[in-house]
Structure 1
C-alpha cells in the first residue's frame, strides 16, 4: 500500500489535542502488541486496532463535530471525508474489519499468518503516514 500524502503544515506536537497524542500512543502500543503476539489472530487484530487508533488520532486533530441528528459514520468513512488523501488507506483497513472481528472472536481460520504479517507492516506504514500528516516526525519503523 502506498500513499501520496504530502506533509501538512508543521503544527508541532504542542498544538495538537491531547486526545491525538493519546491515540498515537495507543496505536504504537497495539503495533508493538501485534509484533510480539504469539498467535496469528491476535497479531492481525492488534495490527488492525493500531491502524484504527492512528485514524482516530488524525480524526481527533482534524474532525469537527457533526450537527445533531446526522447519521453516525465509522472511523474509516470519516477518515476518507476528513483526509481525502488517505481514502485508499481507509478503504483498505475498512475491508479488513470483518476479519478483525472474526480474529477477536477467536477464529483461527479468519486470517493466515501471511495476512497478519502483511497487516502489521501496513499498520506500521499507516501510523507513519498519519504522523507525517499531523506534522510530526514519523516513528522509526518497527515492523
Structure 2
C-alpha cells in the first residue's frame, strides 16, 4: 500500500504520465499544455461598428488557444471579456510585439485600427460570452462553450 502511494505521489510531482492503450489520446511535448501539439488557432475576431463578432466557439478544456482581435478603425469598440477570462488561464496578450502576461483581463478596447493576440488555456467547462458593453443585439456577442 505504501509503495503504491509513493509511486502515485512521485508521478504527480515529477509530471510523469502512465501510458494507456487509448490511441485517440493526444501526446503533449516537453512543454505540456503549452506545447505546439496542443495549440489551436481560433478564427480572427474582426471588430467593426455594426458588424457581428462571429462564433460560436466550442473549446476543449486543457487545450491552448490563440485568437487575434482586429479592429478596422470604424469606431471606438470595447469588449467585456471578464466572464470568459475567469474560465481560462491567460498566457499572454500581444500588442504590436509587446507581450503582457496578466492574471486576468476585464475588458479590451480599441480606439483605432489594430490587432491584439491573446493566448490562453481553456480551463473551466461551461458557457461564456464575450460582448460589446451596452449592446443588446444577438450578433454583438460571441458565445463560447468550454467542454
For the aligned pair, the TM-score class normalised by the smaller chain equals under 0.3
Higher relative contact order (CA 8 A, sep 6+): 1
TM-score (norm 2): 0.27
The structure having more radius of gyration, on CA atoms, is 2
